[in-house]
């Protein structure tokens, strides 16, 4: 079978995280992603991110750029611009993740490229978009998590505002960019005319506030940092300490709450008026959590997860990364895949979440300008 996107070609002026992560999803699904790298600075800075970096290759770079091609071009030099136009002529989309004012400076907008290819879709993913008072302002995942309110609700109430341990704004914005690019290409193929798509990390992060944003904008509701990674409203939906570690228990339905009372051998709680429903448990959170915490410390994580899973209650041990990669589900589904790299040696990586039926088997990322002589 052919891959879903094996008729899609993308010219990507991209670097570091969010942009390459977005085009990685499309490459995994079969798209031909031609990565444009600036030879003046040695290509994408991700090539040199430690640890595990050597001779212009790194495991960081591999994580975001496997299965792509690389062409080194100086887009501000006539020869580079001419070669870029040749690539655009046969492409479906030009994708960039640069500061908001740079697509205009580098000629990456539809107005700049429509004379070369009237169907070209020009997608810009920047910190704040191509317009507005922050358009010329640089941004990274951490600064957006701060500005968009994420850090204000992450961490415990006695802790300072905290960034997520992963670059979730970058990764979410990459997914948004991939979806937006596909939608715009679909429209261009249907209508015969391309156009611009202006996306930002900031607006992605704001959109991901979802119900918290709606509650605040509609009713002035104020979020707060919660202890034990607790849900703002639903209880119990949080981390608990067991005899030998930590686990997360999530009871987002009344039926799950009643089952939990049985598993904990506290059937009287399900009939206690203080804990009768979501609203009651929220009002009496401190009393209920104190009872639950005292109970969970009596048995091991393994004992609790076995009992809770048997009752159909969502729960999980708090793994480290090694534990997650060694989970029985990870092993059974073949999530970890491996390929050889001529510089880095064996590379074990995480396969595409789109499934093996739709995505290509991972292959190494390109060397800088490796595709310069290929027929494209």
Sequential DSSP letters for 304-326: HHHHHHHTT--EEE---HHHHHT
- Which of 366, 338, 364 has its CA nearest to residue 351? 338
Strands 69-72 and 32-37: what pairing? parallel
Measure CA 231 to chain center. Answer: 21
Other Cβ atoms closer than 10 A to 350: 13
- Provide long-range contacts, Cβ within 8 A and 24+ apart, for 49-58: 52/344, 54/343, 54/344, 55/343, 56/367, 56/368, 57/341, 57/343, 57/344, 57/365, 57/367, 58/344
Return d(Cα 113, Cα 90) in angstroms, integer.
Answer: 12
> What is the gyration radius of the CA atoms in the chain, in angstroms?
24
Q: Which residues are annotated as catalytic?
A: 231
């Amino acid at each position: 079978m052919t891959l879903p996107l094996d008729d899609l070609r993308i010219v990507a002026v991209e670097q570091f995280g969010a942009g390459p992560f977005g085009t990685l999803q499309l490459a995994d699904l079969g798209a031909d992603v031609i990565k444009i790298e600036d030879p003046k600075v040695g290509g994408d800075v991700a090539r040199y991110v430690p640890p595990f970096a050597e001779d212009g290759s790194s495991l960081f770079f591999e994580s975001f750029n496997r299965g792509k091609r690389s062409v080194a071009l100086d887009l501000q030099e006539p020869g580079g611009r001419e070669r870029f136009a040749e690539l655009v002529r046969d492409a479906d989309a030009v994708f960039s993740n640069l500061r908001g004012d740079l697509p205009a400076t580098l000629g990456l907008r539809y107005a700049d490229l429509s004379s070369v290819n009237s169907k070209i879709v020009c997608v810009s993913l920047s910190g704040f978009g191509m317009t507005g008072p922050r358009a010329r302002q640089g941004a990274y995942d951490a600064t957006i998590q701060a500005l968009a309110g994420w850090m204000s609700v992450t961490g415990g109430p006695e802790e300072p505002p905290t960034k997520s341990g992963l670059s979730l704004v970058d990764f979410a914005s990459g997914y948004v960019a991939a979806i937006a690019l596909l939608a715009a290409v679909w429209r261009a193929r249907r209508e015969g005319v391309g156009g611009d798509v202006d996306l930002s990390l900031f607006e992605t992060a704001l959109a991901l506030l979802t119900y918290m944003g709606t509650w605040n904008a509609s009713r002035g509701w104020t979020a707060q940092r919660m202890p034990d990674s607790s849900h703002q409203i639903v209880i119990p939906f949080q981390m608990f300490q067991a005899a030998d570690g930590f686990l997360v228990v999530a009871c987002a339905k009344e039926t799950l709450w009643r089952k939990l009372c049985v598993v904990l051998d506290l059937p009287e709680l399900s009939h206690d008026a203080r804990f009768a429903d979501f609203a009651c448990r929220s009002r009496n959170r401190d009393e209920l959590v104190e009872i639950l915490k005292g109970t969970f410390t009596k048995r091991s994580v393994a004992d609790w997860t076995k009992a809770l899973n048997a009752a159909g209650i969502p729960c999980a041990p708090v793994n480290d990364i090694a534990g997650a990669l060694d989970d029985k589900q990870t092993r059974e589904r073949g999530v970890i895949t491996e390929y050889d790299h001529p510089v880095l040696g064996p590379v074990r990586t995480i396969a595409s979440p789109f499934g093996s039926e739709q995505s290509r088997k991972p292959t190494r990322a390109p060397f800088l300008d490796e595709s310069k002589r290929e027929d494209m």
